[in-house]
Amino acid sequence: MTLATTTQVQATRPTLAGAALAYMTGFGNEFATEALPGALPVGRNSPQRCPYGLYAEQLSGTAFTMPRWLNRRTWTYRIRPGAMHEPFRRVDGGRVVAAFGDTVVPPNQMRWDPLPIPAEPVDWIDGWVTMAGNGSAASMSGCAVHLYAANRSMEGRYFANADGELLVLPQQGRVRFRTELGTLEVAPTEIAVIPRGVRFAAELPDGPSRGYVCENFGSLFRIPDLGAIGSNGLANPRDFETPVAAYEDREGRFELVTKFMGQRWVAAIDHSPLDVVAWHGNYAPYRYDLKRFNVIGSISYDHPDPSIFLVLQSQSAVPGVDAIDFVVFAPRILAMQDTFRPPWFHRNVASEFMGLIEGVYDAKAEGFQPGGASLHNSWTGHGPDARTFEEQSRIDTSKPTVIRDTMAFMVETCLPYFPTRAALESAQLQPEYYRCWQGLAKHFDPSRP
């Protein structure tokens, strides 16, 4: 168990600008952290009176009766309970969707250019557009993939997503999440995971920003078992970082925004909900630097299935079948001999939504831009484009290939993706994407084995 402290957030500087951020390491650890000394009760969770006159409140991320190794909950000690706000009223939710399955899905390969940065002021939660998803928030299964493009910090309002856990991947510009459990900041090639229901404000210290959000309606993300790999490798637990407690004691006229069953609701609140002075537990936000991913691959011939690149998984009820596999195609060295080294041509039962944080994805010579996206649904044929195939089928595989400039990722799901109307009618959709395979030559010659 880790005990860490940090300084109190000053009421006059609620943005934490310039404040040093501190983190505790480990995945799903039983953390304990306090921003004032002695704020955590000792020996019990709910004493008759808490230190400093704080209120105790439990935040449960799993059923009370889940097995111990899957059970997630956090005890918070806060200035006011989370129940203190006025009633929510429904407002326009913009281009966000949280239920899928009743739209027509083209079985085509799809790819999009990056979202443009908006010209008008748009904060982080207003900048979302849902691209695709499956399942629903109401069934607590499946996922949604959103893109965001925004240019200013959330001011005077706070957000919580009751529909799912948020996996955030900035592609341009950092995002600083001031959450009720502490502040974490992520830059491009890093990810943040904000648990379902945790309240926060998102700041954009670099201004114009863009990225991806995977919303997980189902079981919480976890790091995978390693099987024959052994006790180390892929995303190592110590590289996950959870912020220490930080709070603001701030009163005023604010908005508490929540997304519940896909709808946006707003309530007036007369104080900051980021008022947790101390907490202990294992249900908390975390961040991870994808550049720390320990890439494992073949050192003889062929390459493993891309499940070898698994960072986080959301397991389904079927053993061995994940509702979500979050995999990363990170910089790596390819040394397999007499092997076509890029991803092969394939058609899968799984469905694949991809994004590119930086550089070039090794299966596509052109057209897949950082900030862009692609969707290959189940059984949709795809793979290297014609130029990549021709080049890579001729390289000297006695020498290694070093892939330095890349960071692509995939949110792979066991259910088909339903692209949204916004995605299908997007100005960024590339109608000519299919042409990247049309130039593949016929090499077949029955007279030459």
Give the pair of three-digit tokens for residue 355: 């994004």
Neighbours of 99 (CB within 10 A): 19
Q: How far is CA 265 from CA 84, 222, 368, 382, in A?
A: 16, 29, 36, 40
Of 123 and 352, which CB lies nearer to Fe ion in the complex structure? 352
230 φψ region: left (φ > 0), alpha (ψ -120 to 50), beta (else): left
Of 71 and 108, which CB lies nearer to Fe ion in the complex structure? 108
Of 5 and 348, which CB lies nearer to Fe ion in the complex structure? 348
Tell me how many residues contact Fe ion (CB under 5 A): 1
Q: How far is the CB of 352 from Fe ion (least distance, A)?
A: 5
Rounded to whole angstroms, how far apart are CA atoms 334 and 140?
A: 39
Catalytic one among 85, 146, 280, 303?
Answer: 303
Q: Helix, strand or coil for residue 51?
A: helix
Q: Between the CA atoms of 370, 200, 118 and 130, what dihedral angle is there, to the nearest 10 degrees? A: 60
404 φψ region: left (φ > 0), alpha (ψ -120 to 50), beta (else): alpha
In contact, 290 and 407? CB cutoff 8 Å? yes
- For tokens 């003889």, name the residue: 300
Q: How far is the CB of 309 from Fe ion (least distance, A)?
A: 12
Q: How far is the CB of 380 from Fe ion (least distance, A)?
A: 9
Of 248 and 352, which CB lies nearer to Fe ion in the complex structure? 352
In the bound state, the residue with its beta carbon closest to Fe ion is 352
Q: How far is the CB of 410 from Fe ion (least distance, A)?
A: 7
Give yes or no for residue 385 binding Fe ion (CB under 5 A). Answer: no
Q: Phi then psi for 308, rounded to 5 degrees?
A: -65, -15
Give yes or no for residue 352 binding Fe ion (CB under 5 A). Answer: yes
From the list 1-9, 175-183, 194-202, 346-354, the region that binds Fe ion by CB under 5 A is 346-354
CA 11 to chain centre: 30
Of 220 and 311, which CB lies nearer to Fe ion in the complex structure? 311
Residue 303 a catalytic site member = yes
From the list 236-244, 269-277, 334-342, 348-356, the region that binds Fe ion by CB under 5 A is 348-356
Q: How far is the CB of 19 from Fe ion (least distance, A)?
A: 42
* CA 93-99-100 angle, 5° bins: 130
- Which burial class, exposed, middle or buried, applies to 94 when counting CB atoms under 10 A from its CB (0-12, 13-18, 19+)? middle
From the list 106-114, 120-128, 296-304, 352-360, the region that binds Fe ion by CB under 5 A is 352-360
Long-range Cβ contacts of 227-230 (<8 Å, 24+ apart): 229/296
Q: How far is the CB of 65 from Fe ion (least distance, A)?
A: 38
Q: How far is the CB of 382 from Fe ion (least distance, A)?
A: 6
From the list 68-76, 198-206, 269-277, 344-352, the region that binds Fe ion by CB under 5 A is 344-352
Give yes or no for residue 126 binding Fe ion (CB under 5 A). Answer: no
From the list 36-44, 345-353, 393-401, 417-425, the region that binds Fe ion by CB under 5 A is 345-353
Give the pair of three-digit tokens for residue 174: 């950092």
Q: What are the E-state strand segments in 94-140? A: 110-112, 128-136
What mask, x for binding Fe ion by CB under 5 A, covers residues 6 to 45?
----------------------------------------
Q: What is the CA radius of gyration of the chain?
A: 23
Of 185 and 352, which CB lies nearer to Fe ion in the complex structure? 352
Q: List contacts with Fe ion (CB under 5 A).
A: 352
> Catalytic residue numbers?
303
